[in-house]
Amino acid sequence: MVTLMPVKFFVDKVTDDLYILRVDDAEVAYFEALWEIAEGVTYNAYLLVGDDGCILFDSWKARYADQLAETIRRVIDPRDITHIVIHHMEQDHSGALPEILRIADFRPEVLAHPMACQMLGSFYRVNAKVRPVHDEEELNVVGRRLRFIYAPWLHWPETITTYYADHGVLLSGDVFGGFSSPDKIFDDDEEVVEKYLPHVRKYFASVIGTYRQHVNKAVQKMAGLDIRVIAPAHGLVWRKDPRRVVNYYDALANGSQERGKVTIICASMYGECLHAARIVMNELKKRGANVKIYEFTDTSRPSISDLLGDVFNSEAIVVAAPTYESDVFPIARWIIEIVQKKIPSSKSVLVISSYGWGEQAGKKLAEMLRAAGHDIKDLLLFRGRPDSETEEKLREAANKLLSDG
Ligand SMILES: Cc1cc2nc3c(=O)[nH]c(=O)nc-3n(C[C@H](O)[C@H](O)[C@H](O)COP(=O)(O)O)c2cc1C
């Protein structure tokens, strides 16, 4: 028997003429086939009903094309769509476009970055009418004032945003988005926002992290706009306090850290590195540190995207992993390669490594993290299980790790 998950989709008014069309993807387990998201994700498209036509901004994943068509029909006849704006070609937002173009009789003109205009044909083999827009171009479309603002690398090179000037709405695409399917559409409820923000950090770390400097540039570029609503392509719509998500993103991009937060990344085949990592953890906890530990062992395989979310704003990280075939234990190597790219530098680091006959892993891990701009406070290497002298060194290293140490 095949059990189909019920699909939740919503329509709500953002302004008197702009609708959010949101689907909650509860089927996705790994965003981009990579990032574990037990909390799910939403795809937000928007529909602007103008004087002499309608504009669809983005769409949903291809899997939900029929539901998007049905949702659009709740508001308008799809043949009334005169324009489609593509902010970002990634298939979680563009996948349903062929179906929408089909039910709109291929009449809509597609407005997008020149690169996205080219990609559309190659991604979907459709012959749509395309009109490339340039950075800061202002257009009057269906009687509404739109300004297209490029946001390169947020999250691909072809990414744009739209400022809907009549109502001060920034349709921001991926930027200012987050994981999870919040209980509400808007940021009106503080409890919902508090619960949501860690999913924003996790999304930022795993999806935007590599391009974080472009967030600062985008925020500067948008500083002069009177933004009253931020309408991203994932997660909550910010109408109560749009500055809050802008400041949150800006702070993450600047590498702001939570003082006293330490994330321990521990990979351990037979428990030797784990034994050492737990000594460090207990010592840090005694000092009142906020410690998160991720244990990759023969019985547990935690979420790497949760780990990235925690590492992102940690003051310090502890990496514990053994030597494996004269190299770093593979899972640890992979995680640290991701950390090198996606995580802001200048964290205090303690590297711990157990080995049987060669010390390569610990030394390589320290080199990798130093090369990424982190501050290696200590490197502790030991054969097999740490002896009492090494245990004492582990406690000392834990006490030196934080800024008040
Ligand atoms: C498959 C495998 C490969 C290993 N390769 C090496 C190696 O190349 N060099 C080395 O010094 N030790 C090697 N070891 C030994 C481990 O590094 C050592 O047992 C260590 O104490 C394991 O720590 P852990 O329990 O935290 O994983 C290997 C162990 C295994 C199981």
- Confidence band of 405 (pLDDT split at 50, 70, 90): low
Number of the ligand 1 atom closest to the C-alpha atom of 269: 27
Number of the ligand 1 atom closest to the C-alpha atom of 275: 26
What percentage of the chain exceeds 70 in pLDDT? 99
**C-beta 324 within 6 A of ligand 1:** yes
Give a yes or no: residue 155 inside a domain: yes
238, 253, 268 - which closes a domain: 253
Q: Are residues 144 and 233 in the same domain?
A: yes
**C-beta 334 within 6 A of ligand 1:** no
What digits encode the pLDDT tens for the residues 52-106?
Answer: 999 999 999 999 999 999 999 999 999 999 999 999 999 999 999 999 999 999 9
- Asked if residue 184 lies in contact with residue 224, where contact means CB atoms within 8 angstroms, the answer is no
Q: Are residues 108 and 177 in the same domain?
A: yes
pLDDT in the model for residue 358: 95
Q: Are residues 267 and 207 in the same domain?
A: no
- Confidence band of 6 (pLDDT split at 50, 70, 90): confident
Answer yes or no: is pLDDT of 3 > 60. Answer: no
Q: Are residues 80 and 205 in the same domain?
A: yes
Which domain covers residue 103, as residue numbers?
A: 8-253
Q: Are residues 191 and 312 in the same domain?
A: no
- Asked if residue 293 lies in contact with residue 280, where contact means CB atoms within 8 angstroms, the answer is no
Answer yes or no: is pLDDT of 329 > 90. Answer: yes
What digits encode the pLDDT tens for the residues 365-392?
Answer: 999 999 999 999 999 999 999 999 999 9
Structure tokens at 253: 């991009």
212, 229, 253 - which closes a domain: 253
Give a yes or no: residue 312 inside a domain: yes
What digits encode the pLDDT tens for the residues 301-311?
Answer: 999 999 999 99
Ligand 1 pocket test, pick from 355, 363, 382, 394 with the greatest ligand atom count within 8 Å of Cβ, gives 355
Q: Are residues 236 and 266 in the same domain?
A: no
237, 253, 269 - which closes a domain: 253
Q: What is the CATH number of the domain that holds 269?
A: 3.40.50.360
Q: Are residues 236 and 361 in the same domain?
A: no
- Asked if residue 259 lies in contact with residue 288, where contact means CB atoms within 8 angstroms, the answer is no
Answer yes or no: is pLDDT of 277 > 80. Answer: yes
**Residue range 336-343: average pLDDT?**
96
Q: Are residues 213 and 294 in the same domain?
A: no
pLDDT in the model for residue 7: 82
Q: How far is CA 169 from CA 161, 228, 242, 314, 389, in A?
A: 10, 6, 10, 33, 61
Q: Are residues 210 and 289 in the same domain?
A: no
Question: Among candidates 400, 368, 364, 380, which has minimal Cα distance to 262?
Answer: 400
Answer yes or no: is pLDDT of 357 > 50. Answer: yes
Q: In the chain, how many domains are there?
A: 2
Q: Are residues 302 and 383 in the same domain?
A: yes
Ligand 1 pocket test, pick from 275, 300, 318, 324 with the greatest ligand atom count within 8 Å of Cβ, gives 324
Instruction: Please report where in the chains the tokens 């659009």 appear, as a residue.
Output: 72
Q: What is the CATH number of the domain that holds 12?
A: 3.60.15.10
Give a yes or no: residue 43 inside a domain: yes
pLDDT in the model for residue 155: 87
- Confidence band of 5 (pLDDT split at 50, 70, 90): low
Non-local CB neighbours of 281 within 8 Å, separated by 6+ positions: 264, 291, 293, 318
**C-beta 362 within 6 A of ligand 1:** no
Q: Are residues 247 and 275 in the same domain?
A: no
Number of the ligand 1 atom closest to the C-alpha atom of 326: 8
| Burial profile 93-116: b = 16 or more Cβ within 10 angstroms, e = fewer | bbbbbbbbbebbeeebbbbbbebb
Q: Are residues 323 and 338 in the same domain?
A: yes
pLDDT in the model for residue 1: 47
Give a yes or no: residue 149 inside a domain: yes
Distance 276 CA to ligand 1 centre (A): 15
- Confidence band of 300 (pLDDT split at 50, 70, 90): very high
ipTM above 0.85, yes or no: yes
Q: How far is CA 153 from CA 173, 179, 188, in A?
A: 12, 19, 30
What digits encode the pLDDT tens for the residues 394-404?
Answer: 999 999 999 77
Distance 322 CA to ligand 1 centre (A): 6
pLDDT in the model for residue 404: 73
Give a yes or no: residue 64 inside a domain: yes
Give a yes or no: residue 125 inside a domain: yes
Answer yes or no: is pLDDT of 233 > 90. Answer: yes
What is the dihedral sign for C-alpha 160, 165, 170, 173? negative
Ligand 1 pocket test, pick from 268, 323, 328, 390 with the greatest ligand atom count within 8 Å of Cβ, gives 323
